Amino acid sequence: MSMASSMLNGAVAFVPRLGLVPLAAKNQKQRPATLTPARCSLSSSRPASQPRFIQHKQEAFWFYRFLSIVYDHVINPGHWTEDMRDEALEPAELYDARMKVVDVGGGTGFTTLGIVKHVDPKNVTILDQSPHQLEKARQKEALKECTIIEGDAEDLPFPTDSVDRYVSAGSIEYWPDPQRGIKEAYRVLKLGGIACVIGPVYPTFWLSRFFADLWMLFPKEEEYIEWFKKAGFKDVKIKRIGPKWYRGVRRHGLIMGCSVTGVKRVSGDSPLQLGPKAEDVKKPINPFSFLLRLLVGTIAASYFVLVPIYMWIKDQIVPKASVSGASQFGWL
């Protein structure tokens, strides 16, 4: 909690044996102000064979079969605004229009719209496992020249050392084996390329934690860093993001709570060796338990549609001045 308070919406870096420390703001040469002892309790991970209710590829497929109809109108305004997106993409250093960029789990193309502000759309590929989400991306004029393909984040159809930037926003939470997806990010990047994974952060408030655990993966910040490092990335950094009406509060978790980046310093495949995929998507499943999981997962997801509404109303009612350090420290 104290760690959160000192670094809200700021960049933090992982320092071995010290844990997460804030990065000095751009153009400031000051040393990080707070050093926090390591608390590497990687508690929210589960074996890939025991995913949460929508953390399974078939469940995610059906979940997005329906959510894609309203996704841009329901999810983005509450959780993933244009301001947040631009802030989250900043560490990806998209400074050259000629860069080859892949947007993995690109869905309806909301994040891709942020990418094509900097990069020629002809050089951008959107990959997603949901044809229904991709159909929405196809309808966007600014994305007409992007390549749009169906595929799996854990098994990318791109050659090793082939892209300059790997971006994935709000998708890691559905991957049964996130480490495998990040290892793939490493493989497809060229030497010096940057991976930028934007994703949720784990809630601390008990009710939010309960629903988060039912729905999908809400990793802890330490977990992202661990996955990046194990995959072989260097210069791993984490930047905190959030809708402005949350005022830095992170106790309910955030669906888009951080942007994690790492640089590929050695070409070729990731040094990490993983066995075969634990999840077998072709294995027949009991339709009743499938429906029940989908239903419970969807109910849990609905809770996180309500949280930003509650936070927004609170932001309208409680004057900013009366919000002292308390909310900043995640107590409200």
Ligand X SMILES: C[S@@+](CC[C@H](N)C(=O)[O-])C[C@H]1O[C@@H](n2cnc3c(N)ncnc32)[C@H](O)[C@@H]1O
Give CA–CA dist 64/301, Å, rounded.
12
- 294 part of the interface to ligand X, by CB under 6 A: no
Residues in CB range of 44: below 8 A, 6 or more apart: 202, 213, 217, 218, 219, 220, 223
- 81 part of the interface to ligand X, by CB under 6 A: no
Contact window for ligand X (CB under 6 A) among 89-97, 163-171, 272-280, 290-298 = 163-171
Give CA–CA dist 116/234, Å, rounded.
26
- 158 part of the interface to ligand X, by CB under 6 A: no
Closer Cβ to ligand X, 80 or 186, answer by number = 80
- Please say whether the beta carbons of 279 and 48 come within 8 A: yes
Using DSSP bridges, classify how beta strands 101-104 and 163-169 pair: parallel, antiparallel or unpaired: parallel
| Closest CB 38 distance from ligand X, rounded Å | 31
Closer Cβ to ligand X, 152 or 226, answer by number = 152
Consecutive H or E run containing 147: strand 147-150
Residue 214's nearest CA partner among 100, 331, 118, 297 is 297
- 106 part of the interface to ligand X, by CB under 6 A: yes
| Closest CB 20 distance from ligand X, rounded Å | 24
Contact window for ligand X (CB under 6 A) among 17-25, 34-42, 124-132, 237-245 = 124-132
Contact window for ligand X (CB under 6 A) among 106-114, 206-214, 261-269, 276-284 = 106-114
| Closest CB 224 distance from ligand X, rounded Å | 16
Pick one of 171, 179, 208, 259: the residue that binds ligand X (CB under 6 A). Answer: 171
- 51 part of the interface to ligand X, by CB under 6 A: no
Pick one of 110, 218, 227, 304: the residue that binds ligand X (CB under 6 A). Answer: 110
- 174 part of the interface to ligand X, by CB under 6 A: yes
Size of the site for ligand X (CB under 6 A): 22
Angle subtended by helix axes 131-138 and 57-79, to nearest 10: 40
- Please say whether the beta carbons of 249 and 315 come within 8 A: no
- 270 part of the interface to ligand X, by CB under 6 A: no
- 59 part of the interface to ligand X, by CB under 6 A: no
- Please say whether the beta carbons of 272 and 179 come within 8 A: yes
Using CA of residue 237, residue 201, residue 182, residue 3, what is the dihedral sign? positive
- 125 part of the interface to ligand X, by CB under 6 A: no
Give CA–CA dist 211/300, Å, rounded.
5
Question: Which residue's CB atom is positioned nearest to ligand X?
Answer: 107
Give the angle 302-303-309 at the CA atoms, nearest 5°: 100
Closer Cβ to ligand X, 113 or 332, answer by number = 113
- 57 part of the interface to ligand X, by CB under 6 A: yes
| Closest CB 326 distance from ligand X, rounded Å | 31
Angle subtended by helix axes 206-215 and 287-317, to nearest 10: 140
Binding site for ligand X (CB under 6 A): 57, 60, 64, 80, 105-108, 110-111, 128-130, 133, 152-154, 169-171, 174-175
